[in-house]
Amino acid sequence: MNKYKIDTDKMKPRYIYTYACHETERELCLLELKCLFGQQPVHSSMLSSHLRLEPGISPFIHLRLDIIIEADTLEELCEAASMLQLEEGKTFKVLCLKEGDNEADYDERREIERRIGARIQGQAQMKTPDVILGVIRVGERWLMGICEYSDRSWQERRQKPQNYSTGLPVLVARALVNLAATDLTASKGKSDSLKLLDPCCGMGNVMIEALSMGKDIRGCDINPLAVRGARVNLRHFGYEEDLVKLGDMNMLTGNYDAAILDMPYNLCSVLPADEQKKMLRSLRRLAARAVIVSTEPMATLLSESGWTVMEQCRIYKTGMSREIWICK
């Protein structure tokens, strides 16, 4: 019996996702991946799943590998590669990934690429190939698949016309949207049918990332300067500026599938507990699910406001840290 297979079973495809994060954001990265895939990653740099997601959905995912071959040994992988039928005229490149359980150094990975590439029928192209075939070792198995790289265009939104020095980074804002919407997307079927709310939107960082991901989101802020800045930013990236309103979240009405609340804070003063509780109770009235961010401990206030904490994590920045709670 063959010890390798070319995967043509479309009923149960397999995908490998490689990811990376800074240590200060590792808790957020792992929680976001858990929400997206329904499982905690067991490897420090990759995740295996039968779910096919666009790699650009997460700011931490580098690429998705669509597996087409699995083998017990490298030689068997080379043999299976010789049977590949690339589309006529398509050029290829073999890339041995450093993620996974492959302990090969740089020179050894290049040799693996040469060995496999020499067995593939077709024209190799190192600079601009039509297809990149990724190779990775997971446990004792060798896998090969087609690389789909993440869309990193969100990085261009790091620079905005208006921003706070303590505003949420684009990477964090994007991850928060996934924490808020992923479970709901699974239950409702379409992400664009979800109604999201950012009731203290500041300069609109979370709103802009949600909109870039095709989400329906509305925002408001009690600070006229913040609303003005958010509108400038929305307009700069091609979104309707009337998506954000001036107002107190405690006076808002309506029903939303989920909300993302970055609790107001000031490095020189603290929002009184009764005001925080009032905001959290208003949020409970507006949405059945929320992702709440704060620089202060919130467990007691969340419980007293009617929220149940489902998950939590922490992110760090020089001089401060933020707690993140997923609540229902």
Strand order in the sheet with 216-221: 244-246, 216-221, 195-198, 258-262, 290-294, 320-327, 309-317
pLDDT at position 192 is 57
- Cβ atoms of 4 and 72 within 8 Å: the answer is yes
Q: Give the gyration radius of the chain's Cα atoms.
A: 23
pTM of the model: 0.91
pLDDT at position 269 is 55
Q: Give the Cα separation of 165 and 267 in Å (integer).
A: 12
Q: Give the Cα separation of 154 and 8 in Å (integer).
A: 34
Give, for all 328 residues of the chain, the pLDDT tens digit.
Answer: 345 555 544 457 999 999 999 999 999 999 999 999 999 898 999 999 999 999 999 999 999 999 999 999 999 999 999 999 898 889 999 999 999 998 899 999 999 999 999 999 999 999 999 999 999 999 999 999 999 999 999 999 999 999 887 789 999 999 999 999 986 554 455 555 799 999 999 999 999 999 999 999 999 999 999 999 999 999 999 999 999 999 999 999 999 999 999 998 765 557 888 999 999 999 999 999 999 999 988 999 999 999 999 999 999 987 789 999 999 9
Pick from 251, 256, 253, 198: nearest CA to 227 = 198
pLDDT at position 163 is 87
pLDDT at position 99 is 94
pLDDT at position 40 is 87
